[in-house]
Amino acid sequence: MSEDSIDDLIETLNSIRQEEFPEIPKELLEEIVRIERETIDDRELTQDRISNVIESHLSE
């Protein structure tokens, strides 16, 4: 899946975010989508990486 092709996914999520969850930063969503795109079948690794991103966001 190419870099350009996830723009659609992010755009879809972002439009919902803007309307319903503006308190969630767009960058956080982008980061989660990128992590999901990069990992295929390793759920544990994916969840670890997402958890780290969330923790870092919460600690800001």
| Residues at the contact surface with another protein, assessed by CB under 8 A | 1-2, 5-6, 8-9, 12-13, 15-17, 20-21, 23-24, 29, 32-33, 36-37, 40-41, 43, 46-47, 50-51, 54, 57-58
Could you give the CA distance from residue 54 to residue 34 in angstroms, rounded to a whole number?
14
Could you give the CA distance from residue 30 to residue 47 in angstroms, rounded to a whole number?
15
Length of the chain: 60
In the complex, minimum distance from the CB of residue 27 to another protein, in angstroms, rounded to a whole number: 13
In the complex, minimum distance from the CB of residue 3 to another protein, in angstroms, rounded to a whole number: 8
Q: Which residue has the tokens 């969630």?
A: 24
